[in-house]
Chains A and B, each alone.
Chain A
Amino acid sequence: MGKTLYQKLYDSHIVLEAQGELPIIYIDRHLMHEVTSPQAFDGLTQNNRKVRHSERTWATMDHNVSTQSSDINACNEMGKIQMQTLKANCEKFGVPLFGLGHQWQGIIHTIGPEIGATIPGVTLVCGDSHTATHGAFGALAFGVGTSEVEHVLATQTIKQARLKNLKIEVTGKLQKGVSAKDVILAIAAKLGTAGGTGYAAEFCGQVFKDMSMEGRMTVCNMAIEVGAKVGMVAPDQTTFDYVKGRPYAPSGKDWDEAMEYWKTLYSDEDAVWDKVVTIDGSSIEPQVTWGTNPGQGGSVNQPIPAPDDFSDPVEKLSCEKALKYQNLTPHTSLTDVKVDEVFIGSCTNGRIEDLRAAAEVLKGKHIASNIERAMAVPGSQQVKAQAEKEGLDKIFIEAGFEWRLPGCSMCLAMNDDKLPPGKRCASTSNRNFEGRQGRDSRTHLVSPAMAAAAAVYGHFVDVRTIL
């Protein structure tokens, strides 16, 4: 019987599978940031343990960093302590750190692929649920908690039960103006936030074959938003071209050996799937979420639902609660909903292709008068440098956007970039949970092009009509 890509990667990383115990899995790559690591390092110190492979571990600062100044004193006091703690821990345990001011600093999921730490065939973890991003390379990548971070630091392994296999197939070709973000939001609307719980998801079909690495990362990034902590795309020439020549990627003879191996990384024809979901890619329209979880969304042209549209009592209650929080009226149109702020960035949509897509919409235009603030936050120093080389920063600034420094920023608002109470934001981030961008604030998840269009018109519009 054939295997899925997930099964191939899982099985080839088993260190030990003892009777009645959870299998011990080898972890090839470990990425870290300042928020979920201090207690793990602390645990090592308390138990007099070392980092087993500091050369397989990389760290950066992203959640707390100010997007207005690279001076650590620009961060709030607690955030500053957390970042200083990371620096001290990295020095003590010999872990490479790309901190403030470093040319490779940025959101951990943006920089992993950029530096070539993320490659096909590896197991990769990080104390962050959006670690699924790295599955775009055909890596087995998933978010872990701080106890597991400590376990990986000490042993370079993790104990993990096998996940079930979910195939998400998107066929056909996407329409112009429809992006990777719309694809994953459409998947979330169909599956719901728990449809992938207990599964490793693989994204298959022509749409992903045609998709860039940036797009694949956007899709895999949000696998966790349907409950799947693993999301992956089988590696192909697009993947290999992206990886080749990156600082930590294999080179020379190792590259040849790697290529031999990487070409075996796909789900076999006769692999057995526990669940299959198929979507016609050509039917996907630009998406906007209306609710308070990523599954509560749909096409920008669909009316906002009413609680009575749902037969399941739990979903009905959930819809009612969400509409109240979001201050939306059932059966009205999303294109009539006015927006106060626009946020373009995050580990979902802070890569160069995202900034290009937004800039294409913004070029020669200006944000609407009701937009109180519009921010463009590159995912990393490298993305920022590339965007500036292409003159995208000027397009954003001339359109009335603030051009910021790299970091997680208003995706989770741990730094000072917060959405004020009652304000509504068109956001390219990944979560529209209550209070996510600031207490009592309202988030609508969209693609970069849709966010830019909302900025120009002051309300949601179908970006296909203006391209």
Chain B
Amino acid sequence: MDWHQLDLSPRITAAVRRAKLKCVQDVLCVSGLDLQRLTGLSRSDVQQLITAAATACRPHPPVPALLLHRGECRRLESGLRLSVGCPVLDELLRGGLPVGGVTELSGESGAGKTQLALQLCLSVQYPTQHGGLNSGAVYICTEDVFPSSRLQQLISDQSCLRSDVPPTLISRLQFSDHVYIEHTADLESLQVCLSRRVPLLLARGAVRLLVVDSVAALFRCEFQASDWLERTKQLLSFSSTLHHLSQEFNTPVLCINQRRHRDPPNPGRQEAPPLSSNVSPALGLAWANQVMVRLMMRRLQETVARGNQRSALRRLEVVFAPHLARDGRDAAVWREGVRGLTGSECTDVQH
């Protein structure tokens, strides 16, 4: 933003130019006395300058929450949720993923994390009255090759999963045209992807869901244990990029994370909330501070059967979220996708 756009007298603007202050933001980061010294302006002039700069940096005044409640302020609360595509799991998540904010899904391998992520890539394409966001998804793979055959299978069985949606609508949607796949093998290419290609897709409205599968892979393999300071720095810069994208484009961001076995109990650490098992998501506290909703998927010992299909029993749990209670639902992965159990399936224990 340029100086002459501010509501200031030319005398003050000229003094600011002389002082070689680069941008409006700099004014707020320098103390008042320093500004007086740098610009040679009087105290009241400096006050005017700071107020003008602050007004320019803060576009919107405080809004009563009632306006959000009535849906009159879409900028702050769109009221949208991205449905998972299964009523049982949507009920657990109170409608689905929040559209602004980073959601983390962690779990051991084989728990069904990728299955759920693929399902979200499809459900985002439905119109909003069917829980979607009427747009595509971008899927960033850092670990494995994108499971495209499984995606095709999910697409062909959509009508079985989404019996609530008219079949004519499902047949009209070109699902596979709207899933953009990126493979990034190192941190550098991930940064390039997130800072150039993804914003472009989001700005065009081509996508409205960002999936990173998985965050832990790159950060775990590229850094030695002794580089933890550099790792934390990179991790913060990565997470702030995600946060920025999510806020700016009002887009849900789903990060898949691995799990690690928790360190032996140490009385000085009370970081991790108690869970039903002795594992916790990877990447530690620095990453956890950046996550808004933390979900966890576990694979249980039992298997469930439905017709001629069998599946290992899974459990999707809410670890923390500002709007959700700590709770969980049993689920299973069928041919058509991940579904919460309703009780019509039969469970048998197999070890």
Q: Do A and B come from one complex?
A: no
- Interface of A with B (CB < 8 Å)? none
